[in-house]
Each structure stands twice: as structure tokens, then as C-alpha cells.
Structure 1
Amino acid sequence: MVEIGKFNKLKVVKHVDFGVYLDGGELGEILMPIRYVPDGCKDNDVVEVFVYRDSEDRVIATTEQPYAVIDDFAFLKAVSVNNIGAFLDWGLMKDLFVPFREQEKTMEEGESYVVKIYLDTKSDRIAASSRLTRFLDKTPADYKEGQSVDLLICGLTDLGYKAVINDSHMGIIYKNEVFQKIDIGWNVKGFIKKIREDGKIDLSLQEAGHERIGGAAEIILSKIKEAGGFIPATDKSAPDVIYKLFGVSKKVYKKACGALYKKRLILINEKGLKLTDKP
């Protein structure tokens, strides 16, 4: 069965002056315009193509690669806006339509947005929506605290960054716990920090502190050695300064320094961290 909005492997039925026709099963023969036909393509060859409807509602095949397909979340740029909606660049000649009713906020030309690509069942056309929550899994999340997950940063609130988790749930990374550069549309690795009683999910960009102390301690020790035996970092240093120096959160930094101090590998004073004479 041919799936509109996805890649399909279809057999070449016949050649014509303006392209080739592919066996589309229940959809009949599907045209692949000549500009998309691979060199050396022959009848009965099987080709992998993306299938969609063109502006005249015809089912068309292309060997072009869209940036995303149906059911994907993607970060796409609005290339035009008119009185019926917005159009996004998604890598194909025909832009991707976002109806006004599917815009979380009114889209502006030149701006980029995180959207969900879907098939409009009424028109059988591919469309996109920035109203992400209605496409997310409504069942309670069964993630484990500390579990590694894939995140798509999709919004910014007063509390922090909203992120889509594994294409299925929404979570938040609190602003005061972000120690690296991230932005809307970025795909990053993250961790489940906590699932609250109301079902909302707190996220972290770093592993839980107790899992990272060993590696963090090694990093801090190595950085002090590289700096000649002393680094002016203290408990009063700002979290972003700590992250810039060592690539860890301030909480992890303090625990790692405590571990190094107990092993008598460093001295800690009001000016910073200093190596001991211990080999």
C-alpha cells in the first residue's frame, strides 16, 4: 500500500516524454516528473520515492529528499504567509502548508517554527501544525528517572525550555539548570529528572550528579593540571562560569571537588582550587 507523505519503493510501469509512471496500487499509476527520474532508470526497475499531492491535487512521486516526513517533528522556516495560512520550506519544490487554525501563534515570514507534519484526512493532503500538544501521547509516561532520552527543544517559557521527549511527550528544562547553549529547534540528548504527581516531566541536560562525579572529578583534576596547578574557581563562582571551565553543573562541580579533596588531590581555599603535592 502506497503511503502519501512517506518514502515508498515502487515499480516503474512505463516511460513517457515528461517522466515515468510508477505502480501505485490502489492509487493507480503515479507520475514521477522527468526532472526527478534517476539516470538509467528502466521499466520494471524499483525506485524509492517520496509521494505527495501537488498543487493540482495529483499524486506525484519525487526522488527529492524532504527535511522530514509525516509523523515527524521538524524545525522549518516560513517562506510565505497569506490569508489562508503559512508555507514552510521542507526541501521540496512545493512548500508545506500550515493552516491558520494549526498555528500556535501567527506565523511570520522568515521565522522558523517547530511543527508536526501530518496527513489531513479530509483533504488527503500533507500539512503541518505548530499546535504540538494535540499530537503528543496522552497516556502517562513510563520513563525512569535518569533515563536517557532524545529531546527536541520546541519553546521557551518563564520557567525554562519546553522539549518534545522521544517524539511522544512534553517536558521542561528549567532555566537555572541549563549550563550549555541550546535554542529552539535543536535536537539534544537529555535525561528524565523527575515525573511529577501531576504527570508533568522535569528534564535535565546532564546525568544525575551521583552518576557523573567520577568523570567530573577527572575533568576538574585535568583542567587544574593544564592550568599549571591552580584555577580561580570557588563555591561562589557563577554556574555558567563553572560550566564554561569544566562542562558540568555547579552541583556536580561541588560534589566532584569534595571527592578530590577527600582523596587529598586538591586544596580548596577562598581563591580557588590548587593541586596538592600528592602524585
Structure 2
Amino acid sequence: MELGKINTLKVLRESDIAYVLTDGLVEVFLHKKEAKKPYLDGEDIDVFLYSDNQGRVTASTKEPLIQLNEVKMLEVVSVNERYGAFLYYGMVKDLLLSLDDLPNDSRDWPKPGDFVMVEMINKKDHLYGHIIGRKQITDHFPDAYKIADNETVEANVMYLIDNGLVCFTKDGHEIFIHKNNYRERYHIGQLVKPKILKQNPSDEYVGTLIEQKEIMLEKDALRILDYLERNNGIMKYTDKSNAEEIQQVFHMSKSAFKRALGSLYRAKKVILNKENTKKI
């Protein structure tokens, strides 16, 4: 018998609540709630084997969404900070994605309704979801279709790295989004809709989560926009602010600051008031 896979077993006998199945050496239970129909003694049936909440190997005739060593996108159904995230894969018992696979900051964890790409592994006779390396994921999807430049796709955030986000589509496309090309804080599993900018020779796609007109903003304007987003969308600095203060906070001259504010205003990104500047 192999845990985490569909096995063909023989019905040994029937009890009040279950069928006893065997491979000739070991016996397991198939609860009648998990059976598709009544079975006869000696009948061969295909069942998926997993461990129940008591750690006992049990059988189900339901078809799992993932099997041992496969990589699939699974939905998060609940999160427990003591254990990790629980994923639905078609069985009565959900699949645990251990906190060992997740960032230290729980704000970066997936939330119920998110989807994460995981491999099913067997660890000490218990099945788990496991986040593998990003290049290992693409190895599981060698025939992924090509995405065209400027196409917008749905993907889920899988890795939070120093210079951006690494996302995956359900079909295994890897999409890198540089930190300059998004404005919010994202977490693992979160659905995003990046626009594809190009495909690298390594087959990794590069995408953006900001509008084209914002891509065209100058670096100084982006710096001001980043500051606003880190400060709840409002700041006391205006085109009347002291030049030394502007240099200290934004590392730019007052004239550069005024030009950047003007470009943000024309792009309808900010409201310019006498006493403050607000992000729209």
C-alpha cells in the first residue's frame, strides 16, 4: 500500500460501518460514507489512502485533487498560527501546509480563499502540502502554453523576495513582478492579475501590477508615491515645503520635488492642498 496514492485493494469483509480492505498483507478501513456503492467480498476497488485525524491509514473512493509527489494549486480553507494553513484537496481531512513552509511574519501567510502551489509529501506517514523551489515548480509544467506580451493573466503570489514577487498561474507559468511594478503589500496565495511585459530566456515572465501611465512616471514621482503609501496616503509636504526638509526626506532638490508633484497631479494620483498632499 502507498499512502497518498490510489491503490487497488480487495474487499476482505463488511462490518456495520465500514468495509475492510487488504492488499494481502495489511488491512485498512473504508467507511461506508466514503463508499460509492455496496461492495462484495473479494471485489477489487480503487481507493485513495490517507491518514485520518488519529493518524490511522484510511481509504476513500473519492478522487483527490493531488497525489503524492504531484504539484497542484490548492485552495486555503483555514489558517492556524500554531500549525499553518489547511488546504482542500478533496478529502474529509484537509492537507496541512506547515508553518515551517511559511514566512515568520503571519501577515505574509495565505488567507482562506487564496490558492497556493504545493507538492504533496509523506512525512512520518502523514501527508502534507510542501512549498518547493520556484524552478522545481516549472519542472512539473514542461508543456505550459506561451503567454503573449501585454496579456493580462491571473496568478497567485508564491514567493516574497527582496526585489519583488514571484507568482504562478495554475498552469505553471512563473511570473516575476519587480517591487517597482506594484504599490501594495501582498501575501502568499493572493490572487493578482499582472500584465505581461516580456518573457526572459529562462522562460520566466516579467509582469506589472500598475497601469502603463504610472510606469511612465519619473523615479522621483514614484519615490513620492511610495512615501504616501507608507504613510496612509497623506503627507505634510507640498510645493511650499522647505528645500532642506525635502532633501532630507526625499533626497531630491525642491525643483525636482515640484516637478514630480506636478507629474503625479497630472496623472491624477494626488490632490494638492495648501497644508498637505493626499494620494487619490
User: TM-score when scaled to structure 2?
Assistant: 0.51
CA contact (8 A) 1:11 1:22 kept: yes
One-letter code aligned to 1:155? V
SS at match of 1:41: coil
Shift of residue 89 of structure 1? 2.8
SS at match of 1:86: strand
Shift of residue 136 of structure 1? 3.1
Q: Quote the residue 2:225 is aligned against.
A: none
One-letter code aligned to 2:167? K
SS at match of 1:136: helix
- Alignment pair present for 1:163 and 2:162: no
SS at match of 2:155: strand
Q: Quote the residue 2:125 is aligned against.
A: 124
Deviation readout 1:206-249 (Å, 9 max, x if unpaired)? xxxxxxxxxxxxxxxxxxxxxxxxxxxxxxxx98xxxxxxxxxx
Q: Quote the residue 2:35 is aligned against.
A: 37
Q: Quote the residue 1:261 is aligned against.
A: none
CA contact (8 A) 1:163 1:173 kept: no
Shift of residue 113 of structure 1? 2.9
Q: Quote the residue 1:110 is aligned against.
A: 112
CA pair 166-37 structure 1, distance change in 2 beyond 3 A: closer
Shift of residue 50 of structure 1? 1.3
Q: Quote the residue 1:48 is aligned against.
A: 46
CA pair 3-56 structure 1, distance change in 2 beyond 3 A: same
Question: Equivalent residues in 2 for 1:168-187 (5 A)?
Answer: 170-172=174-176
Rounded to whole Å, the distance in 1 between the matches of 2:79 and 2:190 is 20
Q: Quote the residue 1:211 is aligned against.
A: none
Deviation readout 1:134-181 (Å, 9 max, x if unpaired)? 743679x8999889xxx98232888787226865x73448979xxxxx
Runs of 4+ with >6 A deviation: 141-147, 156-161, 173-176
Q: Which runs of 5+ in 1 are unaligned?
A: 177-182, 205-237, 240-279
Shift of residue 11 of structure 1? 1.8
Deviation readout 1:5-43 (Å, 9 max, x if unpaired)? 1222222121122211112355x1111112112323111
CA pair 132-81 structure 1, distance change in 2 beyond 3 A: farther
Rounded to whole Å, the distance in 2 between the matches of 1:25 and 1:137 is 39
Rounded to whole Å, the distance in 2 between the matches of 1:87 and 1:142 is 29
CA pair 30-110 structure 1, distance change in 2 beyond 3 A: same
CA contact (8 A) 2:4 2:122 kept: no
Q: Quote the residue 1:3 is aligned against.
A: 2
CA pair 3-203 structure 1, distance change in 2 beyond 3 A: farther
CA pair 67-84 structure 1, distance change in 2 beyond 3 A: same
Q: Which runs of 5+ in 2 are unaligned?
A: 183-188, 213-280
Shift of residue 47 of structure 1? 1.6
CA contact (8 A) 1:20 1:31 kept: yes
CA pair 114-10 structure 1, distance change in 2 beyond 3 A: same
Shift of residue 185 of structure 1? 6.1
CA contact (8 A) 1:116 1:132 kept: no
Rounded to whole Å, the distance in 1 between the matches of 2:110 and 2:190 is 16
Percent of aligned pairs with the same amino acid: 19
Q: Quote the residue 1:154 is aligned against.
A: 156
Rounded to whole Å, the distance in 2 between the matches of 1:91 and 1:48 is 16
Rounded to whole Å, the distance in 1 between the matches of 2:154 and 2:119 is 14
Deviation readout 1:89-132 (Å, 9 max, x if unpaired)? 333221211111112563355242313132234x1211113455
Rounded to whole Å, the distance in 2 between the matches of 1:76 and 1:15 is 35
Shift of residue 195 of structure 1? 4.1
Question: Equivalent residues in 2 for 1:250-265 (5 A)?
Answer: none
CA contact (8 A) 1:165 1:171 kept: no
SS at match of 2:119: strand
User: TM-score when scaled to structure 1?
Assistant: 0.52
- Count residues in correspondence: 189
CA pair 102-36 structure 1, distance change in 2 beyond 3 A: same
CA pair 173-83 structure 1, distance change in 2 beyond 3 A: closer
Q: Quote the residue 2:73 is aligned against.
A: 74
